[in-house]
Copies of this chain bind each other. A is one copy, B any other.
Amino acid sequence: FYHEKVIDHYERPRNVGSFPKGSTDIGTGLVGAPACGDVMKLQIKVDDATGKITDVKFKTFGCGSAIASSSFMTERVRGMTLDQAGQIKNTEIAKELSLPPVKLHCSMLAEDAIKSAIKDYKTRR
């Protein structure tokens, strides 16, 4: 049913955790999926000089597809500018991980979370 990439990210999720509170170079996104009630927290650390994302962390209690989508997202956005990262669509992630249609909302959590983290970083600057 699930692609081996999903299983891999589910069993060995990348960049799980959160950054210490109080840093100014961090943006935090906290979003929910109305379909299932799951919640995702994703944080970016940004190099103020270059405007690039230098590190990413996430935490969720969501399903295997949500874990895989956000783990994949954290690897994808590292090194990107905020503009580049803000343009990633959940459909790209879903395609890359071969998620079934019923699981599209889980990849949407990852897209919403990175957008929300970028917005938070910009607000705090």
Contacts and interface: CB of A to CB of B under 8 A. Distances in A.
Interface residues of A, number: 18
A100 B65 CA distance: 21
A10 interface: yes
Interface in A21-46: 35-39
Interface stretch (A56-64, A76-84, A114-122): A56-64
Nearest to A100: B37
A116 to B, nearest CB: 17
A55 B92 CA distance: 42
Contacts of A10: 61
Interface of A: 1-2, 10, 35-39, 61-66, 100, 102-103, 105
